[in-house]
Homo-oligomer: A and B are copies of this chain.
Amino acid sequence: MSLQLNKSEKSEHLYMEVYHYYRNLILEQRLTPGSKMPSLRKCAQELRLSRTTIENAYLQLAADGYIISKAQSGYYVTDIAQRQVVPSSLKNSKSTLYQYDFASSGVDRESFRFDLWRRYIKSALRQDERLLSYGEPQGEADFRQALCEYIRERRNILCSADDIVVGAGVQSLLHILCPLVLDKKTVSFPTPSFIQGSTVFSDYGFEVRYRNKDSGVIYVSPAHMTKWGEIMPVSRRLELIRYAAQNQSLIIEDDFENEFVYLQKPTPSLFGLAGGQGVVYIGSFSRLLLPSIRISFMVLPSVLKEAYQQKAASYNQTASKAEQIALCQFIRDGHLAAQTRKLKRLYSVKLRQLLSAVQTVFGNTSRIQIGSAGTSLALTLSVPFSGEELKKRAAAESLRIQILKDAPGEVTVILSCSSMREQDFLPACRLLKSIC
């Protein structure tokens, strides 16, 4: 073997070098399907690396489908090179497929402190006794207490840990909430785009409408009213609360991206403004931590608390207990607040830079919409073909975009800055212009 490794690199990078070395051998079919990989021991000896480094590389290769382990035998090369398909893990992280990805809702990859998060998970996994039992249906008590203090401080929401229900994502929470409010019969969403939400309501027999405040349930994301980050002004929030109270409608406040309100002071939560009456507050962490961590929570108003308590034991907890324990301590140690500050600063700068790149490239030939929050802007282009066609042309150039609106002769695309690198904004915009 002739793998040249720079020994001075950290061991975390070393294993990726080993990974890429073997991946290339496999893709070029210099290691043929079915052939056995060298044993960990042998490979470590030959490359003069630690067994752990080799093992990590092999695990990554296995996870990506290049090799497969057979019990008590070792690792074997799969037929991935012959199948000529993209391994599933690459299919997921679309950014590795596209040179430029304006459509990803992932987190900026430089911003997340993996080392830190790993340390908290490791600590959580050391609590053997706790992990041997089922989780509390409502969510771990200490985690709910930490959430309670966090939203009191940051969103001015006064509640007790008893009012909080934890679940694996917003849908898991709606699966508990919907059956409690079946008598409301109708639900209104701001736009048809939040399919994950409307699907759950329609599964439970609700009539789903849009922008209709005469509905039994009014679902809003006040910090994310449009894809380009418009936020709901306080006057409209108060009006909505009054109107809903008069009609005995329930408001569901999905506080998505409230952390990324840049151009004005953070607006008070509906839950806080309504004094906790008639509003369910939903918070989540997918935009702050890793999208792959499935933890959300809701705060129930007193009117729903009793109904929930009666059924609480009928629902198993969906969120991972280890991740709840880890996140609890992560919050208590101030890391969530720090991460939020960091991301807010970062996205605020990135979004301005993206805007400037779009203005430079498209100038007056297009319409730009940008709100005071979020990580995206909307760009309306005059093109003689459909949005689908534009998307296809972009993909052919390794550029990923998301179509918001497709009118004759005019297509609106959403450009997100969140997982793009700043130096890519200008070339990506130029590329987009070249195919219009």
Which residues of A are interface residues toward B (Cβ below 8 A)?
12, 15, 55-56, 59-60, 62-65, 68-69, 71-72, 88-89, 91-96, 104-107, 109, 112, 114, 117-118, 121-136, 140-142, 168-172, 175, 178-179, 195-196, 199, 203-205, 286, 290-294, 311, 313-323, 325, 328-329, 332-334, 337, 419
Contact = CB atoms under 8 A, between A and B. Distances in A.
- Which residue of A133, A291, A313 has the most chain B CB atoms within 10 A of its CB atom? A133
Given A125-B118, A171-B316, A314-B199, A291 B91 contact: no
A100 to B, nearest CB: 16
A127 to B, nearest CB: 6
B117 A125 contact: yes
Given A106-B133, A135-B292, A337-B71, A318 B171 contact: yes
Contacts of A68: 332
A118 B289 CA distance: 21
Residues of A contacting B: mostly: helix
Copy number in this complex?
2
A424 to B, nearest CB: 16
Contacts of A64: 142
Given A293-B320, A322-B292, A125 B114 contact: yes
Contact of A133 (B92, B124, B141, B316): B92
Contact of A168 (B112, B131, B142, B319): B319
Contacts of A169: 316-318
Contacts of A337: 71
B291 A329 contact: no
19 contacts: A56-B126, A63-B329, A64-B142, A69-B329, A71-B337, A94-B133, A106-B132, A117-B125, A118-B125, A133-B291, A168-B320, A171-B315, A171-B318, A175-B175, A195-B314, A204-B204, A294-B319, A319-B320, A320-B320
- Which residue of A59, A292, A321 has the most chain B CB atoms within 10 A of its CB atom? A292
Nearest to A170: B316
A179 B178 CA distance: 14
Contact of A121 (B106, B109, B121, B178): B121
Closest 6 CB pairs of A and B: A71-B334, A88-B141, A292-B321, A179-B203, A199-B314, A168-B318
A419 B142 contact: no
Contacts of A322: 121, 292-293, 323
B332 A62 contact: yes
A211 to B, nearest CB: 21
A334 B72 contact: yes
A120 B161 CA distance: 33
Nearest to A96: B129
Contacts of A109: 128-129, 132
Given A130-B93, A133-B92, A133-B106, A196 B71 contact: no
A203 to B, nearest CB: 4
A88 B142 CA distance: 7
Contacts of A311: 199
Contacts of A178: 203
Contacts of A107: 132
Given A59-B123, A129-B93, A136-B92, A196 B315 contact: yes
Given A15-B126, A59-B126, A172-B172, 11 more contacts: A55-B123, A63-B127, A63-B130, A63-B142, A89-B130, A92-B141, A118-B126, A133-B292, A169-B318, A294-B321, A320-B320
A105 B132 CA distance: 10
A286 B316 CA distance: 12
A114 B129 contact: no
A332 B126 contact: no
Contacts of A291: 132-135
B129 A118 contact: no
